Structure 1
Amino acid sequence: MHSEPQPAECVSVLLLWVEGSVKAGFPSPAQDFDCRPVDLANVLIRHPQATFMVRASGVSMLGAGINNGDILLVDRAITPQHGQIVCAIVDNYFTVKYLHRKHGKFRLVAADPTIPDIIPKESQTVEVWGVVTASITRHLKL
């Protein structure tokens, strides 16, 4: 069984935003960048009381940029749309997949084409729980 997560209190996390961009290809000459404080919660969270964090487990969404162990932000206030990445509950277990809708029916589709789609059966309990709005990949273990 899943337990219903509770929204966390949203606190300000001010980070310095460096104006400009960082080249991921050929390096650009170093410049004096302007910095301004930005609240990370305002950048990532649209509906604080309806946004939850979950940890991704598995590799079925690697093609969507979601790695095993990533932290996902899930917003329950957003109405899920075709093609969005959603967090769903299938037979009391959480899963993260693309939502595909067609002719009034839906299926949950992994980014990995070798993983079978989840097509709800009559006897199955499936609930689209929320929309994944961001994923956080840790590159340095703290």
Structure 2
Amino acid sequence: MNTQYIQGMQTPAFSPPQAVFVPDAKVWLEMCAWAVRAGFPSPAADHTRKRIDLNEHLIRNKEATFIFRVKGDSMSGIGIYEGDELLVDRSIEAKHGNIVLAVLNDDYTVKRLHRRGGVVKLMAENPLYPPIVVKEGEELVIWGVVTRNLHKLY
């Protein structure tokens, strides 16, 4: 696993979440082979189909992928809402600008990672929440990178 420790922090004392169970059986869905416009439907829509496996489509590394349910509204500005389920991949190295699952002083949080000039911040995507500037002596672990947001519409 690619847990990233920031500013020489020590290993945090927390129990990691449980892995997502990804069955070996394929999960097939029919998919249109073209982009869907938000206008009038194509008359050929009933004649072109493609099948995709959701495991292959949504998960890059099943051994390192976990699902977390969102609590709170600090990321609502980019369409991550309370109750959404986030796919988090621990094998991806977090970079400046990524949406990450971070553990700051033993608390999990989802924020945009900001790393510039030796300063590390966790940025909310809601103007009601100020940036969290990681101070010397605080314990920050970048637990994984958010790769997908599963947002229920119905």
**TM-score, L = length of structure 2:** 0.83
Tell me by how many angstroms 1:23 deviates.
1.7
| Equivalent-residue separation in structure 2 for 1:70 and 1:85 (angstroms) | 14
Name stretches of at least 5 consecutive residues in structure 2 with no aligned partner: 1-12
Q: Which has the higher contact order (CA 8 A, sep 6+)?
A: 2
Pairing partner for 2:107 from 93, 112, 126: 93
> What's 1:5 paired with?
17
Task: State the secondary structure of the residue aligned to 1:96.
Answer: strand
Tell me by how many angstroms 1:114 deviates.
2.8
Task: State the secondary structure of the residue aligned to 1:63.
Answer: helix
Tell me by how many angstroms 1:16 deviates.
1.2
| Equivalent-residue separation in structure 2 for 1:109 and 1:58 (angstroms) | 14
Pairing partner for 2:41 from 13, 28, 34: 28
**TM-score, L = length of structure 1:** 0.89
| Equivalent-residue separation in structure 2 for 1:83 and 1:47 (angstroms) | 21
Output the aligned Cα RMSD: 1.6
Residue type at the aligned position of 1:103? G
Task: State the secondary structure of the residue aligned to 1:79.
Answer: coil
Greater CA deviation, 36-45 or 66-75?
A: 36-45
Q: Confirm or deny that 1:56 pairs with 2:108.
A: no
Task: State the secondary structure of the residue aligned to 1:43.
Answer: helix
The answer (yes or no) to whether the contact 1:19–1:33 under 8 Å persists in 2 is: no
> What's 1:106 paired with?
120
* Residues 39-88 of structure 1: CA deviation (Å, up to 9, x unaligned): 11111111110110000111111111111110000001000011110010
How many correspondences in the alignment?
Answer: 139
Identity %: 40
The answer (yes or no) to whether the contact 1:18–1:33 under 8 Å persists in 2 is: no
| Equivalent-residue separation in structure 1 for 2:104 and 2:124 (angstroms) | 14
